[in-house]
Amino acid sequence: MGRILLIEPDTILGKNYQAALKRAGHDVYRSTSAGAALQILDEQAIELIVLELLLGAHNGVEFLYEIRSYSDLKNIPVIINSNVAPATVRSSPGYKLLGVQQYLYKPHTKQSELVEAAGIVFDAGVVRQ
Amino acid sequence: MKNEHTFSAADASRVPLATLAQHVRQSLLQIAQYAQSGVGNESQIDTIARTTTKLLDCYILSGHSEQLELAVEPVSLGSVLQDVLHELTPIAKQHDCTMQFVSAGASQLVATNRAFAHAAFLSLGHSFIEAIHTDNPAERTIIFASRQYGGNQTAGVFSPDVTLNARALRQIRMLAGTATQQSGVVPGSSSGIIVADALLNRTNNQLYASKFQNTPGLAAAFIKNKQMQLV
């Protein structure tokens, strides 16, 4: 269906999410860090980013601010799939500028719900032009 | 270093509860994801469950260590590290990490408590496994190393991708229990490092940032067992 960049520092979770999204028909590129993710964005025409905010050296919010500053990356839709409770992030003033399509809280989100959320983004046609 | 804070058993029983809860939550998330992926993942689920149980045992030991009578005995650090490596191999494979044991020079027996040393390096090793975030397979390596240094025997855990320098270790010690992430180098709770710190502190072996063959990591120095030297 579409090309997804999955940014997930936990290898076990990342492999499971990747497998689930692949079973749904997507091409999934997986990275464990913001730095590796930027490299993938340079090399592949990514149409959707699934992002954990709790990354290593650069956290997910910093990563989002960075890609929103690039003209060729700023319109890529993002689904946050994070261990950070949504209320913590959504209430921050700059949240609406980050272009987040959906916020999924990992402890409450099933694999099928992540797959469904990705499907909704592609069905709605909210992909990079 | 003056006023350097290291974790005591009293600290271990109070501070890392939220930190540990995050770690356990992560393990349960991993289990849930394997379960949702369908059948055929029973061994992976079993590995995560067993490993997490062992880590909880380490935490419990660190919290009760002040109440336990500490038996000091001659211990081979090399055998402790090899046992830990063997126990962590299944979970390391799930994280696409390779592990190796290296002993530099003749290994001497040290005077310490084997159970505490084992628990400390088990916690530390697991923290390193979870901390590796490079996509480069060559750097997804963890080294358990033992060597003689300055008249003592040292043992530690090292990895090219986990740059736990002295500053990061200080940060982990200062922020543990008060922050979701104690270090930008070790995403997550760093609970394993905190537990290892408390256990080693109990046996008077402080964790410190070190390098093994130019690979960064954390190590502790142990006093050689003089009784065995007389034999």
ipTM of the complex: 0.89
Average pLDDT, chain B: 84
Cβ contact, residue pair B130, A19, below 8 Å: no
pLDDT digits (tens, 9 = 90+) for B90-147: 999 999 999 999 998 777 889 999 999 999 999 999 999 988 888 888 899 999 999 9
Q: What is the mean pLDDT of residues B40-67?
A: 89
pLDDT computed for residue A36 by the predictor: 92
Residue B98, φ and ψ in degrees, nearest 5? -110, 150
pLDDT digits (tens, 9 = 90+) for B142-191: 999 999 877 789 999 999 988 777 888 888 887 665 555 545 555 555 78
- Residue B110: name the closest of B219, B231, B228, B209 by CA: B228
pLDDT computed for residue B183 by the predictor: 52
Q: How far apart are CA B219 and CA B13, in angstroms?
A: 23
Q: How far apart are CA A48 and CA A5, in angstroms?
A: 6
Banded model confidence at residue B4, pLDDT cuts 50, 70, 90: very low
Cβ pair B159, B132 in contact under 8 A: yes
Cβ contact, residue pair A12, B25, below 8 Å: no
Domain boundaries defined on chain A: 3-123
Residue with tokens 């990747």: A18
Q: Which of A5, A8, A10, A40 to mutate to test the interface with B (most CBs of B within 10 A)?
A: A10
Residue A10, φ and ψ in degrees, nearest 5? -85, 115
Domains of chain B listed by start with CATH number = 9-230 (3.30.565.10)
Banded model confidence at residue B49, pLDDT cuts 50, 70, 90: very high
pLDDT at position B5 over 60 = no
pLDDT computed for residue B2 by the predictor: 38
DSSP state of B231: -
Per-residue pLDDT of chain A (129 residues; tens, 9 = 90+): 899 999 999 999 999 999 999 999 999 999 998 999 999 999 999 999 999 998 877 789 899 999 999 999 989 999 999 998 888 787 777 777 788 999 999 999 999 999 999 999 998 876 554
pLDDT at position B7 over 70 = no
Banded model confidence at residue B8, pLDDT cuts 50, 70, 90: low
pLDDT computed for residue A127 by the predictor: 57
Other C-beta atoms lying within 10 Å of the C-beta of residue A98? 18
- Cα torsion B10, B69, B108, B161: sign: negative
Concatenated DSSP letters of A17-71 = HHHHHHHTT-EEEEESSHHHHHHHHHHS---EEEE-S--SSS-HHHHHHHHHTST
> Any CB–CB contact under 8 A between A104 and chain B?
no
Phi-psi region of B38 (alpha: psi -120 to 50; beta: other; left: phi over 0): left
Q: How far apart are CA A93 and CA A70, in angstroms?
A: 21
Cβ contact, residue pair A17, B33, below 8 Å: yes
Dihedral of the alpha carbons of B57, B62, B65, B67, in degrees to the nearest 10: -80
Residues of A in contact with B94 (CB under 8 A): 11-12
pLDDT computed for residue B3 by the predictor: 41
Q: How many residues does chain A have?
A: 129
Cβ contact, residue pair A36, B135, below 8 Å: yes
Q: What is the domain class of A3-123 according to CATH?
A: alpha beta
pLDDT computed for residue A129 by the predictor: 44
- State both tokens at A51: 């992002």
Q: Which of B25, B37, B185 sits opposite A56 (nearest CB)?
A: B185
Q: Is A117 helix (H, G, I), strand (E, B) or coil?
A: helix
Cβ-proximal residues to B51 (8 Å cutoff; 6+ apart), any chain:
B27, B87, B88, B90, B91, B126
Q: What is the mean pLDDT of residues B49-69?
A: 85
pLDDT computed for residue B9 by the predictor: 53
DSSP state of A92: S
> Any CB–CB contact under 8 A between A84 and chain B?
yes
Q: Which residue of A has its CA nearest to B32?
A: A110
pLDDT computed for residue B1 by the predictor: 39
Q: Which residue of A has its CA nearest to B163?
A: A57
Q: How many residues does chain B have?
A: 231
pLDDT computed for residue B10 by the predictor: 56
Q: Which of A11, A17, A38 to mutate to test the interface with B (most CBs of B within 10 A)?
A: A11
What's the Cα-to-Cα distance from A43 to each of A37, A38, A62, B141, B149, rounded to whole Å? 10, 9, 21, 27, 47
